[in-house]
C-alpha cells in the first residue's frame, strides 16, 4: 500500500486528468477525493475490499484516504478530478453526512441516468475551467465541486432515509448534528467528552450517542480522533514544531495514543507523513 502525494500545481486544491493511459495502477491512497467518469466498457476498479466493474457513463467515487486500485482500465477509458479533503472536512454539512456519503462508491447511469448526466456535466465544467485558466478559476472549480457534492449528498441521504428513520432524519436532528460537529471542531484541542457535547446541545448523552452514530456511522471517540488527526496534519506542515508539540496542540493527551491513531487513520506515522510532505515540496 503506497501513499500518493497529490501536487495541485495548476489550481490549488483541484486537479484534473483528461484521460488515463495506464491500464492498471497498484493499490494506493491519498488525502484527496477522486471522482472518475468511465468512458469505455471493461473497466475493473477496486475500492477498499470491493471490486467494481463500471459500465460506460458510470461515475466512481473514491473518498479521502481510501485504498483503491485500477485493476484494469481501457486506454483513454476515463477522466477524473481530484480535490483536497478540506473541501469536505471543513464543511459542517458535508461532515455531518460523511458517514453515509463516504459509503457511496459508484453512481450507475443505468439506474440513475439523470443524476449521472448532471454530475458528468459538472465534472466536465471543472475540466473546461481547468484548461482555460479563467480569472478566479480556483473558486469557480470549487463552487462546481460543491454542487457535485450536494447532488451526491442529497442522493445518498435520501437512500438512507429509511435506515435512519423519519424521526431521526428530521430537520431538528440534522441541526443537532451540525451544531455538535461545529462544537467538536472548535474545541477538539481541549479534553472534551461526549457527555459535554451532549450537554452543550441540550440532549441526554444516550440520545446524542444514538443520533451521532446514526449520522456519522462512527462513535464519538473515533470521530474526535479523526478531527484531531486532521489538526495534526495541518500542524505537521510547520517543521518548526516537534512531533510532540503537534500531538498536544492537536488535542491528544499522549504521544503513544497520537502515533497509534495517526497510523490507523493515515497509514503512516506522523514522522513518515512529515517526510512525505517535505519530499513532495522539494
**Which among 269, 213, 225 is positioned nearest to 250, based on CA atoms?**
225
pLDDT digits (tens, 9 = 90+) for 88-138: 888 888 887 777 788 899 999 999 999 999 999 999 999 999 988 888 999
Measured CA distances, 75 to 17, 24, 121, 143 (Å): 13, 10, 22, 30
46: β partners: 51, 69
pLDDT at 282: 46
* CA distance linking residue 234 with residue 246, whole number of Å: 9
Asked whether the predicted pLDDT for residue 262 surpasses 70, the reply is: yes
The domain locations on the chain are 2-163, 165-217, 221-282
- CATH class entry, domain 221-282: mainly alpha
What mean pLDDT is predicted for residues 142-167?
A: 83
Question: CA torsion sign, 8 to 9 to 14 to 16?
Answer: negative
Asked whether the predicted pLDDT for residue 17 surpasses 60, the reply is: yes
Say which residue the cell 503537534 belongs to: 246
Measured CA distances, 57 to 37, 86, 91, 122 (Å): 6, 27, 29, 14
Say which residue the cell 475551467 belongs to: 129
User: What's the pLDDT band for 208 if we cut at 50, 70, 90?
Assistant: very high
Task: State which fold the 2-163 domain adopts.
Answer: Jelly Rolls (2.60.120)
* CA distance linking residue 62 with residue 55, whole number of Å: 17
**Which among 67, 143, 63 is positioned nearest to 100, based on CA atoms?**
63
And the C-alpha cell for 144? 462546481
pLDDT at 281: 47
And the C-alpha cell for 110? 443505468
Are the folds of 2-163 and 221-282 the same? no
Amino acid at each position: 500500500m503506497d501513499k500518493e502525494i497529490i501536487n495541485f500545481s495548476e489550481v490549488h486544491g483541484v486537479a484534473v486528468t483528461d484521460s488515463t493511459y495506464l491500464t492498471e495502477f497498484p493499490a494506493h491512497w491519498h488525502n484527496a477525493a477522486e471522482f472518475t467518469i468511465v468512458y469505455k466498457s471493461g473497466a475493473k476498479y477496486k475500492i477498499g475490499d470491493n471490486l467494481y466493474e463500471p459500465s460506460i457513463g458510470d461515475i466512481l467515487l473514491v473518498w479521502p484516504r481510501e485504498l483503491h486500485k485500477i485493476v484494469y482500465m481501457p486506454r483513454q477509458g476515463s477522466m477524473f478530478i481530484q480535490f483536497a479533503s478540506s473541501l469536505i472536512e471543513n464543511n459542517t454539512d458535508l461532515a455531518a453526512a460523511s458517514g453515509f456519503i463516504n459509503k457511496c462508491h459508484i453512481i450507475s447511469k443505468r439506474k440513475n441516468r439523470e443524476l449521472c448526466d448532471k454530475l458528468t456535466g459538472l465534472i466536465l465544467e471543472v475540466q473546461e475551467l481547468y484548461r482555460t485558466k479563467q480569472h478566479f478559476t480556483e473558486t469557480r472549480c470549487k463552487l462546481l465541486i460543491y454542487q457535485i457534492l450536494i447532488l451526491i449528498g442529497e442522493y445518498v441521504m435520501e437512500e438512507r432515509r429509511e435506515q435512519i428513520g423519519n424521526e431521526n432524519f428530521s430537520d431538528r436532528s440534522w441541526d443537532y448534528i451540525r451544531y455538535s460537529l461545529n462544537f467538536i471542531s472548535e474545541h477538539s484541542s481541549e479534553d472534551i467528552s461526549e457527555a459535554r457535547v451532549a450537554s452543550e446541545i441540550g440532549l441526554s448523552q444516550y440520545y446524542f450517542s444514538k443520533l451521532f452514530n446514526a449520522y456519522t456511522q462512527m462513535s464519538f471517540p473515533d470521530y474526535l480522533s479523526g478531527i484531531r488527526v486532521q489538526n495534526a496534519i495541518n500542524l505537521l506542515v510547520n517543521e518548526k514544531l516537534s512531533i510532540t508539540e503537534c500531538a498536544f496542540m492537536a488535542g491528544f493527551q499522549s504521544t503513544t495514543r497520537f502515533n497509534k491513531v495517526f497510523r490507523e487513520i493515515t497509514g503512516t506515522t506522523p514522522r513518515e507523513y512529515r517526510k512525505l510532505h517535505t519530499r513532495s515540496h522539494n
